[in-house]
Amino acid sequence: SQTIHQWPATLVQPVGSPLSLECTVEGTSNPNLYWYRQAAGRGLQLLFYSVGIGQISSEVPQNLSASRPQDRQFILSSKKLLLSDSGFYLCAWSLGLGEQYFGPGTRLTVT
Amino acid sequence: AQSVTQLDSQVPVFEEAPVELRCNYSSSVSVYLFWYVQYPNQGLQLLLKYLSGSTLVESINGFEAEFNKSQTSFHLRKPSVHISDTAEYFCAVSDRVFGNEKLTFGTGTRLTIIP
């Protein structure tokens, strides 16, 4: 069966510091991968998605970036965090039928 | 472009009472439809989906949703709720025709069960 991992689970970072969040999927090959952000009390905002290694689509211009160094690994990064980057970050995967499967999330607090 | 509307941001319901969470969508093409549930501080879990076939779909924990093409709706229902159903519920849609790599989510409905 497929599983998806995210780490860290929680993170507190000062403004201006770098960020690296990692997501890995097990039990499937060539999945579509996604990064979402969920601000407090808000819905989900799609940040990036990838349909293959090296193929990254950005949905929202901001100070975040994403990379997919391996088939089942998706990394979200920032060089300098802003207060507005605080939120709950969710990684998801799919095989292209529309339904997506989500990881447990990373709670990021920028202070 | 697609959009999903969940008109009720919060729904309080007494335990063992029925509930309906409303979802309407707009799309110029045929769609796939989904309901996700999110418990506090967790990721989203797929609750049920409509891809094709019967317009009434059911989940293993007693929820059901009915695809109504003429009303462009996919409302979620449960005849008798439990405390454990307290969570946030998201409706989502993807299109069948132009690529279903992306889901469009509604803003969510927070379901609170009152003992």
Burial of residue B51 (number of CB atoms within 10 Å: 0-12, 13-18, 19+): middle
The pLDDT mean for chain A works out to 92
- Cβ A96–B42 below 8 Å, yes or no? no
Which chain A residue's Cα is nearest to B10? A41
Instruction: Judge whether residue A96 has pLDDT over 80.
Output: no
**pLDDT tens for each residue of A11-57:** 999 999 999 999 999 999 889 999 999 987 678 999 999 988 888 88
Among candidates B2, B31, B49, which has minimal Cα distance to B96? B31
On whether any CB of chain A is under 8 Å from the CB of B11, the answer is: no
Which chain A residue's Cα is nearest to B93? A98
How many CB atoms sit inside 10 A of residue A108's CB? 21
Which residue among A51, A96, A104 places its CB closest to the CB of B43? A104
**pLDDT tens for each residue of A100-110:** 999 999 999 99
Which residues contact residue B39 at a Cβ distance below 8 angstroms, ignoring those fewer than 6 apart?
B45, B87
Residue A61 has a pLDDT of 65
Instruction: Judge whether residue B88 has pLDDT over 70.
Output: yes
Residue B100 has a pLDDT of 57
State how far the Cα of B83 lies from the Cα of B113, in Å rounded to an integer. 5
What is the identity of the amino acid at A78? S
CA-CA-CA-CA torsion for B64, B29, A102, A56, nearest 10 degrees? Answer: 180
**pLDDT tens for each residue of B58-70:** 998 899 999 999 9
**Residue B1 to chain A, least CA–CA distance (Å):** 14
Among A3-17, A56-70, B18-32, name the most confident range: A3-17
- Cβ A43–B49 below 8 Å, yes or no? no
- How many residues make up chain A in this entry? 111
State how far the Cα of B59 lies from the Cα of B36, in Å rounded to an integer. 11
Residue that has been written with the tokens 């990692």 in this structure: A22
